[in-house]
């Protein structure tokens, strides 16, 4: 039997790790469990940014420079929308719109987000399983110095400028893991936490009731890839958020954040290991090229294998 691997992931950074994994093992053995706390309704459409980033990245359609959206996108819809005075702070490309329209249409007909996502992945020949964390609505909301903001209003419209004091995942108490999520965790030989923003992208996944228990009960080791490189969070918004929440950006903070769940941590070769003695693997964790992504994915798998079953 081949080893099955689960990855808990947000959008851009997580998609890089998942793509790297698909380069070093059989894609059919990979399940990505994706944050949907960033999902929102916009212009009457259901947008699932992190799922779409995974779909575009894994089908080689992603705008690589940007990290989100499609390569070679056209903008006729947005131009027409603007001419009518419609809201244009969230950039929706013409090709991208097809996903949002079809997803919204199918959700309105009663289809589940997980089934729709599986159909999109199949249509684009994606060989691994992409699961939303839940089919139920969970919305990441931030208490800030300008009031409560939904995630995309904070992240895209306000460019992460407001100072954040608290993060909430509305609806999470009533959410259940999407079909296949708990089984994938139970059957996995390795469970990876992508170097996505721990507070905004991974915490919503962990907030779904049953997820933490499933990770604690899993036979597979849980390995996080640290988002810290050179004593800084790789992505600006993560660094800013950590400062606002009074958290020092180092691997101690990452290990403490995932305390009780983690069996190992992949850290950048230039950074100090956490002081709690958790097993670490060191590599250059900056994932610019496909070679980088495969190297980081392999380091996480090797650490999981070295730790072995719990
Ligand atoms: N991110 C931006 O910074 N600006 C945008 O206008 C924007 C549009 C957008 C449209 C569709 C989509 O799937 C993602 C989009 N993103 C945009 C990215 C996205 O909102 C964030 O990167 C994630 O939510 C964070 O993981």
pLDDT digits (tens, 9 = 90+) for 33-66: 999 999 999 999 999 999 999 999 999 999 999 9
Residues 273-304: tens digit of each pLDDT: 999 999 999 999 999 999 999 999 999 999 99
Coarse DSSP helix, strand, coil percentages of the chain, rounded to the nearest 5 percent: 40, 20, 40
Which residue, by CA, sits nearest to atom 25 of ligand 1? 11
Ligand 1: residues with CB < 6 A are 10-12, 38, 47, 49-50, 52, 68-69, 90-92, 96, 152, 155-156, 201
Residues 111-132: tens digit of each pLDDT: 999 999 999 999 999 999 999 9
CA-wise closest residue to 121 among 58, 62, 40, 63: 58
Residue the block writes with tokens 């905004």: 200
State the Cα–Cα distance between residues 150 and 155, nearest whole angstrom: 9
Domain with residue 252: its CATH number is: 3.40.50.10680
> Looking at the domain assignment, is residue 163 inside a domain?
no
> Looking at the domain assignment, is residue 148 inside a domain?
no
Which residue, by CA, sits nearest to atom 19 of ligand 1? 49
> Looking at the domain assignment, is residue 267 inside a domain?
yes
pLDDT at position 233 is 82
3-state secondary structure at position 128: coil
Cα-based angle 291, 267, 61 (whole degrees, multiple of 5) = 35
- Report residue 238's pLDDT band, with 50, 70 and 90 as the boundaries: confident
pLDDT at position 1 is 42
Centre of ligand 1 from the C-alpha of residue 278, in Å: 34
Q: Which domain holds residue 49?
A: 5-143+171-307
> Looking at the domain assignment, is residue 158 inside a domain?
no
> Looking at the domain assignment, is residue 297 inside a domain?
yes
Which residue, by CA, sits nearest to atom 1 of ligand 1? 156
Centre of ligand 1 from the C-alpha of residue 257, in Å: 25
Which residue, by CA, sits nearest to atom 9 of ligand 1? 91
- Report residue 234's pLDDT band, with 50, 70 and 90 as the boundaries: confident
> Looking at the domain assignment, is residue 27 inside a domain?
yes
How many structural domains compose the chain? Answer: 1
Cross-sheet strand order for the sheet of 164-170 = 147-150, 139-144, 164-170
> Looking at the domain assignment, is residue 263 inside a domain?
yes
CA-wise closest residue to 67 among 235, 238, 307, 273: 235
> Looking at the domain assignment, is residue 154 inside a domain?
no
pLDDT at position 2 is 59
3-state secondary structure at position 281: strand
State the Cα–Cα distance between residues 57 and 211, nearest whole angstrom: 25
Centre of ligand 1 from the C-alpha of residue 147, in Å: 21
User: Of the residues 41, 49, 98, which should be mutated to test ligand 1's pocket, given the most ligand atoms within 8 Å of the CB?
Assistant: 49
Centre of ligand 1 from the C-alpha of residue 254, in Å: 25
> Are 200 and 277 in contact, with CB atoms under 8 Å apart?
no
Please state the atom number of ligand 1 nearest to the C-alpha of residue 47: 13
**Pair type for strands 232-233 and 228-229:** antiparallel
């Amino acid at each position: 039997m081949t080893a099955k691997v689960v990855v808990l992931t947000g959008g851009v950074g997580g998609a890089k790790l998942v793509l790297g994994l698909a380069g070093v093992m059989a894609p059919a053995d990979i399940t990505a469990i994706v944050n949907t706390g960033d999902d929102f309704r916009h212009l009457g459409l259901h947008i699932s940014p992190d799922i779409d980033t995974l779909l575009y990245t894994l089908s080689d359609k992603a705008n690589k420079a940007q990290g989100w959206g499609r390569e070679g996108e056209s903008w006729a819809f947005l131009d027409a929308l603007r001419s009518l005075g419609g809201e244009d702070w969230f950039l929706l490309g013409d090709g991208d719109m097809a996903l949002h329209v079809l997803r919204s249409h199918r959700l309105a007909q009663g289809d589940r987000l997980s089934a729709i996502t599986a159909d999109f992945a199949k249509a684009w020949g994606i060989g691994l399983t992409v699961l939303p964390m839940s089919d139920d609505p969970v919305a990441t909301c931030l208490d800030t110095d300008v009031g409560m903001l939904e995630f995309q209003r904070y992240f895209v419209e306000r460019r992460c400028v407001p100072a954040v004091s608290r993060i909430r995942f509305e609806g999470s108490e009533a959410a259940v893991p999407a079909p296949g999520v708990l089984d994938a965790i139970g059957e996995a030989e390795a469970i990876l936490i992508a170097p996505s923003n721990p507070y905004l992208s991974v915490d919503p996944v962990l907030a779904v009731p049953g997820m933490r228990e499933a990770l604690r009960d899993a036979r597979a080791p849980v390995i996080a890839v640290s988002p810290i490189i050179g004593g800084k969070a790789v992505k600006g918004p993560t660094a800013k958020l950590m400062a606002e929440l009074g958290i020092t950006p180092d691997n101690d903070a990452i290990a403490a954040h995932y305390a009780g769940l983690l069996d190992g941590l992949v850290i950048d070769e230039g950074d100090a290991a956490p002081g709690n003695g958790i097993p670490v693997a060191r590599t250059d964790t900056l994932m610019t090229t496909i070679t980088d992504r495969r190297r980081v994915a392999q380091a996480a798998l090797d650490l999981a294998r070295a730790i072995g079953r719990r």
